[in-house]
Amino acid sequence: MREGCHNHRRRTMTGALLLLLPLLFPSLFTPFSHAFPSLLSELNAPNPRHSRLLRSALERQTSAEQQTELWRPSPIQGSKPCLRQDSTLSLPEKSQGYIQVFLDGGLNQQRMGICDAVALAKILNATLIIPHLEVNPVWKDSSTFDEIFDYYAAAIRANRVKTAPVHASANWCLDNVSPVLQSYGIAAVAPFSHRLAFDNMPKYIQRLRCKVNFQALVFVPHIRDLGDSLVSCLRYPLNTNEAGSSNYLTRVTDSKDKQGSGKFVVLHLRFDKDMAAHSACDFGGGKAEKLALAKYRQVIWQGRVLNSQFTDEELRSQGRCPLTPEEIGLLLAALGFDNNTRLYLASHKVYGGEARISTLRSLFPLMEDKKCLASSDERAQIKGKSSLLAAVDYYVSMHSDIFISASPGNMHNAVVGHRTYENMKTIRPNMALLGQLFLNKSLTWVEFQEAVVEGHKSRQGLLRLRRSQQSIYTYPTPDCMCSA
């Protein structure tokens, strides 16, 4: 923390952490997306690939029991977050010096890095420096993170620890970083992402990581406000009257008693062009699409894409193809979500654009995205700011009744972990099963539905214990949890 740098040597990062996203993460996803002009986004609309299933799904009937079951919150599973039980979390007598870390990657990777940095500072009894811009009197208004980042980099180059191995132990840190601290009073660890081990850490360090990630690290008020606006827009939707004029907005009141009313699902749909190209799967756009994706793959990754050695069928049956909006729609329909389900699409750019989303929308007409925000002023605040959008999506995802992610990745892992910690319902698609089901063109809707329901019974928030090497932020049990 910058202010800690000036006066309060003993202050560490364990207090209220604020994450100032717009400044911390200026351009999350941009480089690749702009590297190659979009040949395809406006290409002829891809037809539904599973039209037979789709026809049945559009006419689906769901029972009241099915609905009750779906919206039922996760049961208490014998453990709850461990909090305020550690007297070891007091501040050290004296700070051993200042610690800096350098974090790359997107929002969620940096989030993990911040938590690990706090843990490292604790291991070393050091004071952690993090650009803390929002309420800081020194940097108020004038600076961007980049300016500060460069300034720091120049200032501490001689004290940089470059050799941290992936998943370094606490002892490694004590042996290699402490001496630098002792000599210079300040040490920087870069690169730092994924450098701190998840295994064999003292319990109080694990608890501290949990506390930082799941409790202390909160978004700035501005982001929470936008998130709250979205959440309330989803829970208490406004109904445009028939003339379609936004001057006449009325609260929807007719469906109050129905199952799932006032509730919503967040669907994290990361189906962008990078993802589509990198997966090397066939998305039904014919030869033109295949060629264009292959070319894109060549430009961006120079042929270093493992998946391109496999056929589409092999990839699908192994569950290595991201689910398309159509496929995730069929999954949700098969699980029993009816066409009154309010779905929030947490997603920035969908490869293929509205043409691909329209199939999903036909299954879930009440699907919403950030357009749900009431005022144009609010919409203007987030327009084109992908980092801020990612933070808002994270926030909304943490306030939904159900979360489901159509593709694995950092956002998926972060939200799944956080929701597990809060015992909130999450559905994890069984990609391999779905891949195999979608390959079978003779499957009837009923067969599809039975297989989907059966194959997802244990994937709706059942507790999964962290295994060796796995991230504590994705699998908070057992490290962050105590028996209830």
Residues 6+ apart with CB under 8 A from 210: 81, 82, 421, 472, 476, 479, 480
User: Pattern of binders to ligand NAG over 336-355, x per CB under 6 A?
Assistant: ---x----------------
Is 124 or 128 the residue whose CB approaches ligand NAG more closely? 124
Residue 63 binding ligand NAG, by CB under 6 A: no
Contact flag: residue 443 with ligand NAG (CB under 6 A): yes
- Please list every residue from 138 through 157 that binds ligand NAG, using CB under 6 A: none
Omega prior to 325 cis, within 30 of 0: no
185 lines the binding site for ligand NAG (CB under 6 A): no
- 442 vs 469 by CB, closer to ligand NAG: 442
Question: Does 105 help bind ligand NAG (rule: CB under 6 A)?
Answer: no
Task: Number of residues interacting with ligand NAG: please give it, by CB under 6 A.
Answer: 14
Query: Nearest distance from residue 126's CB to ligand NAG, in Å?
Result: 9
Examine residue 125 and tell whether it contacts ligand NAG (CB under 6 A): yes
Per-residue string for binding with ligand NAG, 163-182, x by CB under 6 A?
Answer: -----------x--------
**Given the rule CB under 6 A, which of 22-30, 89-97, 156-164, 204-212 is the region that contacts ligand NAG?**
89-97
Shortest distance, CB of residue 447 to ligand NAG, whole angstroms? 5
**Residues in 358-387 that interact with ligand NAG by CB under 6 A:** 365
Write out the binding residues for ligand NAG, residues 381-440 only, by CB under 6 A: 440
- Residues sharing a CB contact under 8 Å with residue 191, sequence separation 6 or more, in sequence order: 102, 104, 162, 164
- The smaller minimum CB distance to ligand NAG, of residues 12 and 426, is found at 12
CB closer to ligand NAG, 149 vs 204: 204
Q: Nearer to ligand NAG by C-beta: 195 or 297?
A: 195
Q: Which of 107/161 has CB closer to ligand NAG?
A: 161
Which of 84, 93, 256, 457 forms a contact with ligand NAG (CB under 6 A)? 93
Report in angstroms how near the CB of residue 173 gets to ligand NAG at its nearest. 9
**Quick one: which of 95, 96, 206, 347 contacts ligand NAG (CB under 6 A)?**
96
> Which residues between 43 and 62 bind ligand NAG (CB under 6 A)?
59, 61
Nearer to ligand NAG, 341 or 405 (CB): 341
CB of 60 to ligand NAG, least distance (A): 6
Distance in Å, CB of 407 to ligand NAG, minimum: 24
Min dist. Cβ of residue 205 to ligand NAG (A): 12
**32, 50, 22: which is closest to 134 by C-alpha?**
22
Binders of ligand NAG in range 444-463 (CB under 6 A): 447
Going by C-alpha positions, the residue among 351, 278, 363 that lies closest to residue 327 is: 363
Interface contacts to ligand NAG, rule CB under 6 A: 59, 61, 92-93, 96, 124-125, 174, 339, 365, 440, 442-443, 447
